[in-house]
Amino acid sequence: MDRLKKFVRPHILTIKPYSSARDDFKGSAEVYLDANENSYGPVTGGDFNRYPDPHQTKLKGVLSKVKGVSPDQIFIGNGSDEPIDLLIRAFCEPERNKIVILPPTYGMYKVSALINNVGVIEIPLTIEFQIDTDQLKKTSFDYCKIIFICSPNNPSGNLLNSQTIIEILEEFDGLVVVDEAYIDFAQETSLIEKLEQYPNLVILQTFSKAWGLAAIRLGIAYGNPYIIEILNKIKPPYNINKASQEMGIQALEIESTKNEVVEKIVAERNLLAKKLKALSFVREIVPSNANFLLVRFDNSESINDFLRKRNIIVRDRSRELHCEGCLRITIGTPVENDRLIQVLNEL
């Protein structure tokens, strides 16, 4: 615990968190006149006039069973973007501390750091989109508090070498945040089972991808209870609304449905990769463990323009490191994927 405590910004340790009306009274009562809610009910009808559970107790209970962790190892955020921001705010002193990222990677780590006036050290992935261990050894990590590792990586789609991640966990004197937003689509399993062994490990997952619930904004951070407590201490009191908590529980109760959809997406991914490979102007497809493909084209700009004119939107990643000529294509339904191939064949 002392090791983790020394990573936290000292003033955070002394803050007394906001105590909500729902913290002050936890039982059930006949009349609630404690939270300045509207006892007459919502103007829309429905059951939304009371503040939601600030601790998401029921959702964490169900999630803990599904994931095999204890509820005090779970933080629920308004999308994974919330724990990304909170981790930086809790652990990095502005203008002093830094985070480490491995580009090309998910953009919000850097944006959140910059918003918080926290420095960013970039250790580029190799051209095969793997962690550059030589560069890692040469880098000075003075003042670095967090390293963000995205695996499967966005935008490349591949898994990063898990043995290298373990080595980083063992050697880095700070938090190692492994973003597993796309892990359900991968051949490897989550690093969740390593949480007990590595107190400095934080794992991010989300309901936005495999669960198909991007609109309800549910992101999760799994970590040592001490880290989770710090995040809970600084989060806005009611960060997860009632509808999202309920939808999350409902989803977890039908996990098998999620698994079936993941299977379909993975099969479509493999099929789409095969069809794209057959096109003469496709130069490379990065082997994917996610729900998208990073595809390198001879002339990505004109292909992107052509697709847009035909009402098909993909993500131009050609300006990202090692991604010259690349478009990132999310796996759609069979009909959508067929349409994409049909339009590309018109070229």
Which amino acid is located at 214 in the chain?
A
Within 10 angstroms of residue 62's Cβ, the number of other Cβ atoms is 17
- Exactly one of 22, 56, 73, 81 binds ligand PLP (CB under 6 A); that residue is 81
Give the range of 23-31, 48-56, 61-69, 79-87 binding ligand PLP by CB under 6 A.
79-87
Is 181 among the residues that bind ligand PLP (CB under 6 A)? yes
Give the range of 74-82, 141-149, 159-167, 242-250 binding ligand PLP by CB under 6 A.
74-82
Give the range of 9-17, 51-59, 77-85, 295-303 binding ligand PLP by CB under 6 A.
77-85
Which positions from 90 to 119 touch ligand PLP by CB under 6 A, shown as an x/- string?
----------------x-------------
User: Which residues are paired to 266 by β-bridges?
Assistant: none
Q: C-beta of 219: minimal distance to ligand PLP in Å?
A: 4
Closer by beta carbon to ligand PLP, 150 or else 175: 150
CA distance 180 to 261: 18
By beta carbon distance, the residue nearest ligand PLP is 79
Helix or strand holding residue 311 (H, E): none
Is 151 among the residues that bind ligand PLP (CB under 6 A)? no
Peptide bond into 155 cis (omega under 30): yes
- Exactly one of 150, 176, 227, 329 binds ligand PLP (CB under 6 A); that residue is 150
Picking from 162, 222, 168, the residue whose alpha carbon sits closest to that of residue 196 is 222
Total number of residues binding ligand PLP (CB under 6 A)? 12
CA triple 168-170-139, angle to 5 deg: 40
CA triple 206-211-212, angle to 5 deg: 100
Q: C-beta of 221: minimal distance to ligand PLP in Å?
A: 10
CA distance 323 to 329: 13
Q: What is the DSSP letter of 51?
A: P
Is 313 among the residues that bind ligand PLP (CB under 6 A)? no
Residue ranges of E strands in 91-180: 98-101, 119-122, 144-150, 175-179
CA distance 211 to 66: 13
Give the range of 8-16, 78-86, 124-132, 260-268 binding ligand PLP by CB under 6 A.
78-86
Closer by beta carbon to ligand PLP, 150 or else 210: 150
Q: C-beta of 101: minimal distance to ligand PLP in Å?
A: 12
Which positions from 197 to 236 touch ligand PLP by CB under 6 A, shown as an x/- string?
---------x-x-----x----x-----------------
Picking from 170, 164, 113, 163, the residue whose alpha carbon sits closest to that of residue 143 is 113
* 208 Cα distance to chain centroid: 9
Where along the sequence are the contacts to ligand PLP (CB under 6 A)? Answer: 79-81, 106, 150, 154, 179, 181, 206, 208, 214, 219
